[in-house]
């Protein structure tokens, strides 16, 4: 094998923080720019959904590279018809990896389908499945989020040993994610393999809740928002004074954030 084809030295470009090794916040200027555009008041349909697709394609690529198993393979190129040296060998992504991507309706519909389609370019399609969960926030009289409830699901088969990908653009409070993880662990036959949460934006509050209630869940995000923290906190490394970090306003919306992604993605007012 040509040493030039060795992929072992690849590492994820990510933000330096002290939330734990299970948290990966990408450090990517291109995606950061596109995400800022996505969150701007001027961004509407159809550009909004196009950007969501591009961002989740990038996030999916990061997860594939950093999480999915590899296997040493030799793949013939078209030049193999003329020379025995026309073969490329490396530790490629194992195409037999079994994956389930979970659509959390409604903001997660487009991200999950984007991941579902992206995986088909790398893995054997027979090992890829998409499940569907209907979940919504529960609020009190003051409009504060007090949890999340699941009102329906469509799970297409066994989960035992499969990599579970759960895309949800805004990781705000963590209540929805924890409920979904509990559902897959307690209400279905078998235990899933690695569980990976995939977000465009996360808050310190979200990371704390998921890390506490579901400590083995791996968290991936394009941006960390802690805009409700004081100016001193914003100048130090994320997680060093975690108890003082805040990314949620009084109604549990992310700041800076991007507003209601579910409404924008579906062109709905509520």
What's the chain's average pLDDT? 93
Given a cut of 70, whether residue 151 has pLDDT beyond it is: no
Predicted pLDDT at 159: 92
Dist. CA 91–CA 76, nearest whole Å = 14
Residue with tokens 């409920």: 179
- Residue 9's pLDDT band, with cuts at 50, 70 and 90, is confident
pTM more than 0.85: yes
Structure tokens at 195: 């569980």
Structure tokens at 81: 């018809």
Domains of the chain: 26-70+86-266 (3.40.50.2020)
Q: Reduced to 3 states, what is the DSSP secondary structure of residue 202?
A: strand
Helix, strand, coil percentages in the chain from 3-state DSSP, rounded to 5? 30, 25, 40
Residue-wise pLDDT for 104-130, tens only, equals: 988 999 999 999 999 999 999 999 999
Given a cut of 90, whether residue 10 has pLDDT beyond it is: no
Residue-wise pLDDT for 166-205, tens only, equals: 999 999 999 999 999 999 999 888 899 999 999 999 999 9
Query: DSSP letter at 14?
Result: B
Residue-wise pLDDT for 42-98, tens only, equals: 999 999 999 999 999 999 999 999 999 999 999 999 999 999 999 999 999 999 999
Q: Kindly report the CA angle at 187 between 181 and 144, in degrees rounded to 5? A: 50
Predicted pLDDT at 139: 63
CA dihedral 229→233→238→239, nearest 10 degrees, is -90
**Beta strands 163-167 and 99-105, pairing class:** parallel
Spatial contact of 35 and 222, defined as CB atoms under 8 Å apart: yes
Given a cut of 60, whether residue 30 has pLDDT beyond it is: yes
Spatial contact of 224 and 193, defined as CB atoms under 8 Å apart: no
Predicted pLDDT at 157: 87
Residue 56, burial from CB neighbour count under 10 angstroms (0-12, 13-18, 19+): buried
CA dihedral 7→123→109→224, nearest 10 degrees, is -10
Predicted pLDDT at 155: 87
Given a cut of 90, whether residue 136 has pLDDT beyond it is: no
Given a cut of 70, whether residue 138 has pLDDT beyond it is: no
**Beta strands 218-224 and 23-25, pairing class:** parallel
């Amino acid at each position: 094998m040509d040493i030039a084809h060795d992929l072992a030295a690849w590492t994820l470009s990510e933000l330096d923080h002290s939330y734990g090794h299970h948290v990966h916040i990408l450090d990517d200027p291109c995606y950061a720019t596109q995400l800022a555009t996505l969150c701007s008041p001027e961004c509407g349909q159809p550009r909004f959904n196009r950007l969501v697709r591009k961002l989740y394609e990038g996030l999916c690529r990061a997860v594939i590279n950093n999480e999915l198993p590899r296997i040493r393979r030799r793949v013939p190129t078209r030049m193999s018809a003329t020379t025995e040296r026309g073969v490329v060998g490396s530790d490629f992504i194992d195409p037999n990896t079994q994956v389930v991507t979970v659509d959390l309706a409604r903001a997660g519909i487009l991200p999950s389908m984007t991941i579902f389609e992206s995986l088909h370019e790398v893995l054997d399609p027979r090992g890829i499945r998409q499940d569907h969960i209907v979940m919504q926030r529960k609020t009190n009289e003051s409009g504060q989020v007090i949890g999340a409830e699941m009102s329906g699901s469509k799970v297409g088969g066994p989960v035992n040993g499969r990599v579970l990908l759960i895309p949800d653009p805004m990781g705000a409070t963590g209540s929805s994610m924890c409920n979904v993880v509990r559902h897959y662990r307690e209400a279905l036959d078998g235990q899933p393999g690695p569980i990976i949460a995939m977000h465009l934006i996360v808050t310190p509050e979200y990371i704390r809740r998921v890390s506490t209630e579901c400590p083995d869940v791996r968290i991936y995000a394009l941006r960390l928002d802690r805009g409700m923290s004081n100016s001193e906190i914003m100048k130090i490394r994320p997680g060093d004074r975690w108890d003082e970090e805040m990314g949620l306003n009084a109604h549990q919306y992310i700041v800076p954030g991007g507003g209601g992604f579910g409404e924008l993605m579906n062109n709905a007012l509520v």
